[in-house]
Structure 1
Amino acid sequence: MSVTTAVPTTSILSERISALQESQTIAMAKKARELMAQGIDVINLSFGEPDFATPEYIREAAKKAMDEGYTKYMPVPGYVDLRTAIADKLKRENNLDYQCENIVVSTGAKQALANAVLSLVDPGDEVIVFAPYWVSYEEMVRLAEGVSVTLLGTLENDYKVTAEQLEAAITPRTKLIMYSSPCNPTGSVFSREELGRIAEVVARHPRIHVIADEIYEYINFVGEHASLAQFEEVKDRVITVNGFSKGYAMTGWRVGYLAATKQIAAACEKMQSQITSGTCSVAQRAALAALEGGRTSADEMVAAYRRRRDLVLEQVKDISGFKTPTPSGAFYIFPDVSAYFGRTAPDGSVINTATDLALYMLSDAHVAAVTGEAFGAPNCIRFSTAAADEKLQEAFRRIKVSLDKLA
C-alpha cells in the first residue's frame, strides 16, 4: 500500500521576499531585452546609466592595482586612503566635516542606503519618503519592517516636497526621512534655501534622522550643489550617501559610500560585515583615482547631459499630452502623461494608467521607459536622456507617432 505525502500549500519562501517588489527599472529593461532578442530595434530609455565609458585614467588605475597586488580581502568600511580622500572631497566640495571613521564604502550607493535603513529602522517605525522617489526606497523600508509615508511634491513646484508638507506628515512614530537631490526620477534640485527650511523642521524633532541621497550631485545644471548636512542644527542626524556611478560613469564598478556620525557609520559597517564585507579591492583603487583626477571628465559628461536635456525638451514640445517640467539635474525627463488616460489603442485596449502607456509605447514605438507608479507618481513616466543624440531624436519621433494613434 503506497502512502501519499501531503504537499504543503504554503510558499516555501519567506514573507519578507514574497512582499518585496522587483525593481521596475530592471523589469522594464528585461522586457526591452526580450524584444531585442527577437530582432526588434528597441530604444531603451529605462535605465539610469551613463552611456559614456569610464574615463581612461580610472581604468588604468584599476589595471595598475591588479599588478600591485590589490587582490586580497580589504577592510569592511573601505581602504583608509579612499575614505580619507572621500572625507577631503566632502570638506572641499560640500563644506562637510568628516574624518575617515565617519565614512563607510559600500558595493554601490544602493548598499549604503540599505545599510543605513536597516541600521536605523525598527518594525513599525515610520519613514517619510519624498516622492517622486527612487524605486528602491520603499522596498528597503519594507525589508526593515518599517512603514513608508509618501509625500508627493507637486508638478507646479518641480515635484519638490515643501517644509510645510514635511511638518504636517511628522508623527510620534516618524524615525527617518529619505530624499534625493538631484532627484531620480524628476531631475529636481533642492536649493540651499529650500533645504534650510527643511533643516528647521528636522531640528524641531530630535528623534528623526535623514538620508540624503546625493548620487547625482555632479549632474547639476543650475549651480552649486547643496547638502542638508551643511546645516549645523541637523548635521549629526543626516546620513549623506553618494558614489561614483553617475558622475564618473562607473556603474559597473559598484562603489558608493555614506558619511555619518561615528555611531551610525559603525552600525552600517557592522551590517555590511555580515552581508558582503568590503567592496571590491580593484574598484576601490579605481574610485580613489577618480577622486584624485578631479572633476574634468565629469564636467564634460554633464555638458553632454545638458545638451541632451535641451534636445529632448525641444522635441516633447510637439507632444501635447506631456506636461514636462525642465529638469535641473540628473539625466531624466518625467512628464505627467495623465492626458492620455482613458484613450484607446489601435488594438482596442484602453490606456488607464501610466503603466499601460509605458507598455503600449514599448510594444508600438519600441521605446522602453519606466512607469511613474514605480516612483510614487502614478501620473508620470520616466525617460532617461543618457543616450546618444540620434537615439533620443528617433525615440521621441516614434513616441509622438504612437501617441497620435490613441483615440
Structure 2
Amino acid sequence: MKLASRLDNLGTETAFAVAAAAADWKAQGHEVFPFHLGDLDVPLAGHIVEAMNAAIADGKTGYCPGPGIPELRAALADDIGSRRGMSFGPDEVTVMTGGKPVITKFLQAVMNPGDEVLYPNPGFPIYESQIEYLGGHGRSYRYLPTDDGFRIDLDQVRDAITDKTVAIIYNDLQNPISAESTDAEREAIAQLAIEHDLWVLSDEAYFEMRYEGTSTSIASLPGMRERTCILYTFSKKFAMTGSRLGCAVAPAQMSTVFSTMNTNDESCTTHYVQWAGIAALTGTQEPVADMLATLKARRDAACEIVGDTPGMSVETPRSTFYLFPDVTEAIQIVGARDVGDFATQALHATGVSFCTRNHFGRPQPGEDRSYIRFAYSGLPEEQIRRGLGGLRDWIGSHA
C-alpha cells in the first residue's frame, strides 16, 4: 500500500532527534546536560493550575466554540493589543492548540501549490517543513553576523521576491539565534511587504521573553495591520508548553477562515485549558517576572562560561532563552570532522547535548562559519555551570 507522496516533503522539529540521541546516551548510564530542547523546567503557576482544575470540576470538559471561548478571545485581544500599542477585537483572535497550528493554517490560507513563501534560515524548522508539505516553494533568507549581533540579509530578501511570492515569515526575537531586529530592519521588511503586496506571518512567540528593552510588533507599523498575522503562544511566557494553547491575531477575513479550519481539524481547543489561559493573562504576573529573573541568571552563567571556552564566541542576547555561539575554531581544536561530529564527541565526552546550526534549515551557499544552539531554559544554573564548565575543560584539554 502506498502513502501520499507529499509526505516526502514533511520535515520535523529536529531538536527531538537530538533528544533521542541524548536519551540513548543517558540510558547507557551517562549523565546528560540537555541543552538541546527549548522546554522550561519552571512549574506551572499555582493560580493557573487552580483555574484549570476548577474548570474541570465545573464540567468545562466538552466541546466549545471553534475559534475559542469568548472570554479568552476578549482577554487575548486586550492583552496582545495593549502590549503592542494596538487595539484588537475578539473577532480578530482565533484560539489554537499552541503556536505551531498558526504556521500551518496561515500557509493554508494564503498559499496555493506552487506559490513561494520567504522564511528565515536558520530558523524554526517547521516553517520550511510546512511550506513544502503544503505544496509551496520555500525561499530562505539568511542572517549575517555583525559586530552588533545577527542582521537579516535584506539584499537577499529583495532578490528572493518574485511574482510568485505571496508571503514572508518573519521571526523577530528569533529562534535559534536570538536575533532582534533594529527599527530600521523591521521597517525595511514592512516596506517590502507593502511594495510587493505580501502577507506576513509575524512569529512573536518570544515577544515578552526578554531581559531588557521593549519589543515592537511589525503589525504596529503603518500599513501592516491589514496584512499581518501574529503568532502568539502561552508556551514560553507562562511555561505552558504541554498545555498546547496559543492563538492567531489576524484581520477578520483571515480569522474567519481560521475558525473554519479549526472546526475541520480539531473541532476546538481544549475547553478547560482555555480557562487556564484566562487566569494566566488576567492573574498575577509575578511568576512571569520570577521566571525571567531565573532565566536571566542562567543566561549570564552560560554566556560567562561560553565566552571563556577556547574556540567559542557568542553575543549576549537580550531576549529568548538561547545562545548561538560560533564554534568554528572549537571544532578545529578537538579535531572534529564537522559540526555534527563535534556535537557527538561533546555528548560522549562531557554529556552536553545541543543542536547545531544544521538543525534549523539547510545551510546556504557561502556559509563558512559553524554554529551551535544552547537552550538554557530547562536546566538549573548549577547544571549549566557544571555542564558547560565540563565542555570548556574538554575543549581546553585539546588546545
1:196 is matched with which residue? 187
- Give the distance between the partners of 1:343 and 1:80, measured in 2 at CA: 58
Contact residue 236 and residue 261 of structure 1 kept, 8 A: yes
Asked if 1:275 corresponds to 2:260, the answer is no
- The aligned counterpart of 1:8 is none
The one-letter amino acid paired with 2:347 is L
Match of 1:180 among 171, 192, 201: 171
Q: Structure 1: which 5+ runs fail to align?
A: 1-10, 346-350
Q: Quote the residue 1:47 is aligned against.
A: 37
Shift of 1:21: 2.5
Q: Is the 8 A contact 1:163 1:201 kept in 2?
A: no
Counterpart CA distance in 2 for 1:201 and 1:276 is 35
Q: Which moved more, 1:184-193 or 1:73-82?
A: 184-193
Per the alignment, residue 226 of structure 2 pairs with 236
Q: How far apart are the structure 1 equivalents of 2:118 and 2:354?
A: 26
Q: In the alignment, what sits opposite 2:237?
A: 247
TM-score (normalised: structure 1)? 0.91
Instruction: Give the letter aligned to residue 383 of structure 2.
Output: K
User: Who is 1:13 aligned against?
Assistant: 3
Alignment partner of 1:161 is 2:146: no
8 A contact 2:99–2:245 mirrored in 1: yes
Q: Report the counterpart of residue 399 of structure 1 in structure 2.
A: 391
Aligned to 2:27, which of 16, 37, 41?
A: 37
- Give the C-alpha shift of residue 289 in structure 1: 0.5
Contact 1:131–1:159 under 8 Å retained in 2: no
Question: 1:384 is matched with which residue?
Answer: 375
Is residue 170 of structure 1 aligned with residue 161 of structure 2?
A: yes
Aligned equivalents of 2:258, 2:87: Cα separation in 1: 19
Residue 297 of structure 1 is matched in structure 2 by: 287
Shift of 1:165: 3.8
Aligned to 2:86, which of 81, 96, 109? 96
2:178 maps to a residue whose letter is G
1:331-350 correspondence to structure 2 within 5 Å: 331-341=321-331, 345=335
User: Does residue 1:138 correspond to 2:128, yes or no?
Assistant: yes
Cα gap change, 1:18 to 1:170, in 2 (>3 Å): closer
Q: 1:63-82 to 2 correspondence within 5 Å?
A: 63-82=53-72
Matches of 1:406 and 1:233, distance apart in 2: 55
Distance 2:337 2:109 in 1: 39
Q: For 1:361, which of 346, 359, 383 is the aligned residue?
A: 346
* CA RMSD after TM alignment: 1.8
- Report the CA distance shift for 1:295/1:195 in structure 2 as closer, same or farther (over 3 A): farther
Distance 2:328 2:299 in 1: 22
Tell me how far 1:18 sits from its aligned partner.
Answer: 2.7
**Cα separation, 1, equivalents of 2:329 and 2:105:** 40
CA distance, structure 2, for counterparts of residue 174 and residue 336 of structure 1: 32
C-alpha distance in 1 between matches for 2:243 and 2:154? 36
Count of paired positions: 391
Give the distance between the partners of 1:276 and 1:179, measured in 2 at CA: 26
Distance 1:382 1:70, change over 3 A: same
**Using the alignment, how far apart are the partners of 1:199 and 1:247 within structure 2?**
26
Equivalent-residue separation in structure 2 for 1:304 and 1:334 (angstroms)? 19
* 1:111 alignment partner AA: P
Greater RCO (CA < 8 Å, at least 6 residues apart): 2
Give me the whole-angstrom Cα distance separating, in 2, the residues matched to 1:344 and 1:328. 30
Change (3 A) 1:231 1:320: same
Q: Which residue of structure 2 lines up, in the alignment, with residue 352 of structure 1?
A: 337
Corresponding residue to 2:359 among 368, 374, 377: 374
Mapped contact 2:12–2:125 kept (Cα < 8 A): no
CA distance in 1, matches of 2:112, 2:328: 37
Counterpart Cα distance in 2 of 1:136 and 1:159: 21
Percent sequence identity over matched residues?
28
d(CA) in 2 for partners of 1:98, 1:111 = 21
Residue 46 to residue 110, structure 1, CA distance change in 2 (3 Å)? same
Q: CA deviation at 1:31?
A: 1.5
Instruction: Specify the code of the residue in structure 2 equivalent to 1:22.
Output: T
Compare 154-163 and 139-148 and name the one that shifted more: 154-163
How far off its partner does 1:343 sit? 5.9
Report SS of the residue matched to 1:373.
helix
Distance 2:345 2:265 in 1: 39
C-alpha contact 1:131 1:161 (8 A) present in aligned 2: no
Instruction: Note the alpha carbon deviations across 1:24-51, whole angstroms, 9 max, x for none.
Output: 1111112212222222211111111121
Give the 3-state SS of the residue equivalent to 2:314 in structure 1. Answer: coil
- Tell me the residue number matched to 2:367: none
Instruction: Specify the code of the residue in structure 2 equivalent to 1:189.
Output: E
- Specify the code of the residue in structure 1 equivalent to 2:78: D
Deviation at 1:14, TM superposition (A): 2.1
TM-score (normalizing by structure 2): 0.93
1:109 counterpart (99, 102, 124): 99
